[in-house]
Amino acid sequence: DTLAHPNAYARASETAQHVLSKLPDTLQKPKVAIVCGSGLGGLADTIEAGPKVELPYETIPNFPQSTVQGHAGKFIFGVIGEQKMPVALLVGRAHFYEGHTMDLVTFATRVCKVLGVETIIVTNAAGGLNENYRVGDIVCLNDHLNLAGFVGIHPLRGPNIEEFGVRFPPMSDAYDLDLRRRVHKAWVKLGLDQQKRRIHEGVYAFLAGPSYETRAECRMLRMLGADVVGMSTVPEIVVARHAGIRVLAFSLVTNMAVLEPGARGNDSIIQAMNKSELDQYLGKGKANHEEVLEAGREAAKDMQALVKQILSDLHED
């Protein structure tokens, strides 16, 4: 079932209590949580030497168990930056396509709320739809299309959990403008190589997965105004906004979606191609999981630096 668990608040509180019982005083009050997407677990390296607690998801009561390759699951508590800001890192996340309910997909977000987290930074690997994007670019999300939500796959379906928020939460300004401004500031300050990687603002389309999009679906998403497409993030953001958590989200463009039509039996250009031309034409831009992980490895360091810079900027206030 896709319904929210009626005892979601009690269960999140129980889990938060367990987590707190494992943390020293210095780590008890993380104000910021960071969700690390596919191949972006390297963000955990930004944690300073000092107090640090790692809790594998399988040891945490009520937590979903992650199943995807390259998505090791653990909750890490530590401090970041010279200011020793306490943070919570979620390395690996539960996806809807794994078979988890939306309730479980967003459970960790709710635990963060109970822990007192005020700002959540969500990262993911996504396919680029915007023709100006390139593999390795970073997209700061400024909006989303909750396509799965349109057909009822929505984390807030079911009785409203009043302890978290209202029945009909607005989503019109889900992506915090102040945080987005800080991103651009941080990007300039870091002076990263513009040839290698650029930053954009864009719209993320959420699909349930697990298959990648067809060519026609990619064209449809582009027409709908999406700049990137992926299989995560939006459920967590909806639940975070419901609970009044400030949201910042990044997509790493790990592959470009194919917008060109494929081989159609009646297409004279396709008919005229020999086998190797046709293989090349059809192979171009086909998404695969390995490529997604590889782009993640290369870009993780810049993404890390960016997040760290934003945190230090936040701390200065």
The catalytic residues are 38, 71, 95, 97-98, 125, 231-232, 255, 289
Q: Which helix (H) or strand (E) holds 175?
A: none
State which of residues 287, 294, 305, 315 lies at the interface with ligand HPA (CB under 6 A).
287
Least distance from ligand HPA to the Cβ atom of residue 37, Å: 9
For ligand HPA, the closer of residues 50 and 99 by Cβ is 99
For ligand HPA, the closer of residues 35 and 292 by Cβ is 292
State which of residues 66, 119, 142, 254 lies at the interface with ligand HPA (CB under 6 A).
254
Does residue 206 touch ligand HPA according to CB under 6 A?
A: no
Contact call for residues 186 and 315 (beta carbons, < 8 A)? no
Residue ranges with strand state E in the chain: 32-36, 53-56, 74-80, 85-91, 119-128, 138-146, 199-206, 228-230, 246-256
In 3D, which of 103, 40, 87 has the Cα closest to residue 236?
103
For ligand HPA, the closer of residues 125 and 148 by Cβ is 125
Least distance from ligand HPA to the Cβ atom of residue 190, Å: 24
State which of residues 89, 105, 229, 245 lies at the interface with ligand HPA (CB under 6 A).
229
SS3 307: helix
State which of residues 103, 213, 227, 302 lies at the interface with ligand HPA (CB under 6 A).
213
What is the residue type of 266? Answer: N
Contact partners, residue 14, CB within 8 Å, separation at least 6: 61, 62
Does residue 125 touch ligand HPA according to CB under 6 A?
A: yes
Question: Number of residues in contact with ligand HPA, rule: CB under 6 A?
Answer: 13
How far from chain centre, in Å, is Cα 303?
A: 13
Does residue 75 touch ligand HPA according to CB under 6 A?
A: no
For ligand HPA, the closer of residues 35 and 257 by Cβ is 257
For ligand HPA, the closer of residues 98 and 213 by Cβ is 213
Contact partners, residue 182, CB within 8 Å, separation at least 6: 310, 313, 314
The window from 99-107, 171-179, 250-258, 271-279 that contacts ligand HPA (CB under 6 A) reads 250-258
Q: CA 160, CA 158: separation in Å to the nearest integer?
A: 6
Does residue 106 touch ligand HPA according to CB under 6 A?
A: no
HEC profile for 25-90?
HHHCCCCEEEEECCCCHHHHHHECCCCCEEEEHHHCCCCCCCCCCCCCCEEEEEEECCCCEEEEEE
SS3 245: coil
In 3D, which of 172, 170, 102 has the Cα closest to residue 144?
172
Does residue 249 touch ligand HPA according to CB under 6 A?
A: no
Does residue 292 touch ligand HPA according to CB under 6 A?
A: yes
The residue at minimum Cβ distance from ligand HPA is: 127
Does residue 227 touch ligand HPA according to CB under 6 A?
A: no
In 3D, which of 36, 16, 23, 15 has the Cα closest to residue 77?
23
For ligand HPA, the closer of residues 77 and 206 by Cβ is 206
Does residue 255 touch ligand HPA according to CB under 6 A?
A: yes
Query: What is the contact surface with ligand HPA in residues (CB under 6 A)?
Result: 125-127, 212-213, 229-231, 254-255, 257, 287, 292
